[in-house]
């Protein structure tokens, strides 16, 4: 059939060797009344047919790379250097499994070691793991790490309302059996400093995000001190955007205990939301409470440098119900993509990309703020994403932009914040990256202006 290679003669030879007559005899222990149910699946497609079918489905989507796009909110359209897909397409990487046999997995293991090193470099932290599934699960693992650091005795977790809504939902879903009290995000006006003031000796950790979900850079300067003034042991976990770290001080410089986030901007396509990459870094003190795989450097019997998965006694396959997490895999190939991305851009390249994001976003913010009916808050500094107060519901504006009513091509507008924050009706979260040319930004601003003029004339 499709990928089973045996000929009829070979099959007969094998069955004879086993001592049965037919393939069905191999399933004698499956109760007969359940054997071979009818499956209502479409008939098999050839390679040509499936490619045609999927091309049709793919074309039924709007490709955000084919139109000016200002949508972010946790997933960003960035340039992916050609080298990245070349590296992750190598069968030696893509079709290998978790490096259980270190001697024939040195490629995977060294690449993970390099990934861990690069994440440490970026975040300003001493230890990084081999990755989690995405930014949301990395945030949940930060809460669980803090819970374990205090031997499951501290049950209070403070989380900022400006942490990505999906991350907050995942934290709650992951920990629903742990009897934690997770608070702090009831009102959008609660700042990280307000959270610090609520810290007590039962608080396991404080979770903030910077740049936060609204694009703003949080005041991290005295945050760790303010937390520790309330309780010296409470952990500070900071979610961040890795591209912003090409320009901005890393959370490690602000005394964070855990730094995590969504690694998708590091060379991963949008892919309708996944697979992405949860990067995760912490202090050496917490190595034993850290979840996920870790690769360490060692030497072989002849003194040659090599790499192995290490400190595995934390993990499920050894410790079972006493493991730090149930995580089994990391996001191997996605971590490799991020490694190739950071390597090929390097120090100067990432600085330049970060600068492009920063300056283009500020150019766009200025242009939009100058428009009648629109305003951009200057309450907090931002990196590549900002909130625009609009003269109409965002969904209505976005529909007009998508229909190309006010531009030569359809425009994919920003994120409608009313979906998550009832207080933020008519507020659009706009993301600008190195992919947005000046012409695109100008066209976007012009379309917004035209929308507003049209709306005014209709009134």
Partner 1 sequence: MSTPLEPLIHELSVPGRQGTPVPELDVPKAALPEGLVRDALPLPEVSEIDVVRHFLRLSQLNYAIDQGIYPLGSCTMKYNPKINEQTARLPGFVGAHPHQPVGTVQGALRLMYDLQTYLAEISGFAAVTVQPAAGAQGELVGVLMMRKYLLDRGETQRDTILVPDSAHGTNPASTSMTGLRVVQLPSDERGNTDLDALRSEVCERIIGIMITNPNTLGLFEEHIEEISEIVHGCGGLVYGDGANLNALVGVMHPADVGIDVMHFNLHKTFSTPHGGGGPGAGPVGVAEHLVDYLPDPVVRMTPGADGAPATYGFHHPPHSIGRVRSFWGHFGMLVRAYTYIRMHGAAGLRDVAEHAVLNANYLRSRVKEAYHVPFERICKHEFVAEGSFEGVEDVGAMEICKRLIDHGVHPPTMYFPLIVHDALMIEPTETESLRSLDHYADILLEIAEEAERDPDLLRQAPHNAPVRRLDEVGAARNPILRYEPEAEED
- Footprint on residues 406-445 left by partner 1 (CB under 8 A): 412, 415, 434, 437-438, 441
Instruction: Indicate whether 393 belongs to the interface with partner 1 (CB under 8 A).
Output: no
Instruction: Indicate whether 402 belongs to the interface with partner 1 (CB under 8 A).
Output: yes
Residues making up the chain, counted from first to last:
459
Instruction: Indicate whether 6 belongs to the interface with partner 1 (CB under 8 A).
Output: yes
Instruction: Indicate whether 13 belongs to the interface with partner 1 (CB under 8 A).
Output: yes
288 close to 129: Cβ distance less than 8 angstroms: no
Instruction: Indicate whether 258 belongs to the interface with partner 1 (CB under 8 A).
Output: no
Say how far residue 289 (Cα) sits from the centre of its chain.
22
Instruction: Choose the stretch contacting partner 1; rule: CB under 8 A; options: 155-163, 189-197, 224-232, 242-250.
Output: 242-250
The residue among 257 and 315 lying less far from partner 1, judged by its C-beta, is 315
Instruction: Indicate whether 269 belongs to the interface with partner 1 (CB under 8 A).
Output: yes
Which of 340, 388, 424, 447 is the binder for partner 1 (CB under 8 A)?
340
Instruction: Indicate whether 130 belongs to the interface with partner 1 (CB under 8 A).
Output: yes
CA-based torsion, 357, 358, 363, 368: positive or negative: positive
In the window 58-77, what residues touch partner 1 (CB under 8 A)?
58-66, 69, 71, 73-75, 77
Instruction: Indicate whether 153 belongs to the interface with partner 1 (CB under 8 A).
Output: no
> What would the two tokens of residue 101 be?
């046999």
Which of 56, 186, 379, 408 is the binder for partner 1 (CB under 8 A)?
56
197 in helix, strand or coil? helix
CA distance readout (Å), 202 to 147, 230, 256, 453? 10, 11, 19, 55
DSSP secondary structure, 397-453, as one string: HHHHHHTTTTSSS--B--EEGGGT-GGGTTEEEEE--TTS-HHHHHHHHHHHHHHHH
In the window 83-122, what residues touch partner 1 (CB under 8 A)?
83, 85-108, 110-111, 113-114, 116-118, 120-122
The residue among 76 and 199 lying less far from partner 1, judged by its C-beta, is 76
The residue among 45 and 229 lying less far from partner 1, judged by its C-beta, is 45
Instruction: Indicate whether 208 belongs to the interface with partner 1 (CB under 8 A).
Output: no
307 close to 109: Cβ distance less than 8 angstroms: yes
CA distance readout (Å), 366 to 14, 288, 441? 73, 48, 11
> What's the closest the beta carbon of residue 188 comes to partner 1, in angstroms?
19
Which of 39, 187, 408, 457 is the binder for partner 1 (CB under 8 A)?
39
**Pairing assessment for the beta strands 203-209 and 235-239 based on DSSP bridges:** parallel
Which of 8, 44, 186, 422 is the binder for partner 1 (CB under 8 A)?
44
The residue among 200 and 273 lying less far from partner 1, judged by its C-beta, is 273
Which of 293, 338, 388, 443 is the binder for partner 1 (CB under 8 A)?
293
In the window 344-383, what residues touch partner 1 (CB under 8 A)?
344-353, 355-356, 358-360, 362-363, 366, 381
143 close to 174: Cβ distance less than 8 angstroms: yes
The residue among 199 and 204 lying less far from partner 1, judged by its C-beta, is 204
267 close to 335: Cβ distance less than 8 angstroms: no
> What's the closest the beta carbon of residue 362 comes to partner 1, in angstroms?
3
Instruction: Indicate whether 19 belongs to the interface with partner 1 (CB under 8 A).
Output: yes
Which of 21, 23, 409, 425 is the binder for partner 1 (CB under 8 A)?
23
350 close to 317: Cβ distance less than 8 angstroms: no
Whole-angstrom distance, CA of residue 358 vs CA of residue 366: 12
Q: Determine the size of the site formed for partner 1 (CB under 8 A).
A: 209
405 close to 391: Cβ distance less than 8 angstroms: no
Buried b / exposed e across 301-316, counting CB within 10 Å, b at 16+?
A: eeeeebbbbeeeebbb
Instruction: Indicate whether 271 belongs to the interface with partner 1 (CB under 8 A).
Output: yes
Whole-angstrom distance, CA of residue 361 vs CA of residue 87: 31
> What's the closest the beta carbon of residue 454 comes to partner 1, in angstroms?
20
DSSP code for 221:
T
């Amino acid at each position: 059939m499709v990928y089973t290679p045996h000929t009829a003669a070979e099959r007969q030879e094998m069955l004879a060797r086993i001592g049965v007559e037919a393939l069905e005899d191999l399933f004698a222990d499956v109760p007969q009344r359940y054997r071979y149910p009818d499956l209502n699946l479409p008939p098999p497609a050839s390679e040509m047919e499936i490619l045609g079918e999927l091309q049709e489905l793919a074309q039924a989507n709007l490709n955000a790379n084919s139109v000016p796009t200002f949508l972010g909110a946790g997933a960003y359209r960035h340039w992916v250097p050609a080298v990245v897909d070349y590296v992750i397409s190598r069968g030696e990487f893509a079709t290998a499994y978790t490096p259980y046999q270190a001697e024939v997995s040195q490629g995977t293991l060294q690449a993970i070691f390099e990934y861990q090193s690069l994440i440490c470099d970026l975040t300003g932290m001493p230890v990084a793991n081999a990755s989690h599934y995405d930014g949301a699960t990395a945030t949940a693992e930060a809460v669980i790490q803090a819970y374990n650091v205090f031997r499951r005795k501290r049950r209070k977790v403070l989380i900022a309302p400006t942490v990505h809504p999906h991350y907050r939902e995942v934290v709650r879903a992951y920990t629903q059996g742990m009897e934690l009290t997770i608070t702090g995000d009831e009102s959008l006006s609660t700042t990280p400093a307000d959270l610090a003031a609520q810290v007590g000796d039962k608080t396991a950790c404080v979770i903030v995000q910077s740049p936060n979900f609204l694009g703003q850079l949080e005041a991290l300067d005295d945050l760790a001190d303010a937390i520790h003034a309330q309780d010296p042991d409470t952990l500070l976990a900071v979610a961040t955007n890795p591209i912003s770290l090409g320009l901005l001080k890393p959370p490690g410089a602000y005394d964070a205990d855990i730094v995590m986030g969504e690694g998708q901007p590091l060379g991963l396509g949008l892919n309708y939301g996944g697979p992405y990459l949860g990067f995760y870094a912490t202090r050496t003190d917490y190595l034993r409470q850290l979840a996920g795989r870790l690769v360490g450097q060692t030497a072989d019997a002849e003194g040659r440098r090599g790499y192995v998965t290490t400190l595995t006694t934390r993990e499920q396959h050894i410790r079972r119900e006493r493991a730090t997490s149930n995580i089994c895999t990391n996001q191997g190939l996605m971590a490799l993509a991020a490694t190739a991305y950071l390597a090929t851009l390097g120090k100067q390249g990432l600085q330049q990309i970060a600068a492009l994001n920063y300056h283009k976003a500020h150019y766009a913010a200025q242009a939009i703020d100058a428009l009648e009916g629109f305003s951009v808050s200057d309450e907090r500094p931002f990196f590549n994403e900002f909130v625009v107060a609009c003269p109409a519901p965002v969904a209505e504006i976005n529909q007009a932009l998508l229909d190309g009513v006010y531009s030569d091509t359809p425009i994919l507008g920003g994120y409608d914040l009313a979906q998550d924050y009832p207080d933020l009706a008519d507020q659009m979260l706009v993301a600008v990256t190195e992919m947005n040319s000046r012409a695109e930004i100008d066209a976007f601003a012009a379309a917004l202006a035209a929308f507003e003029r049209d709306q005014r004339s209709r009134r």
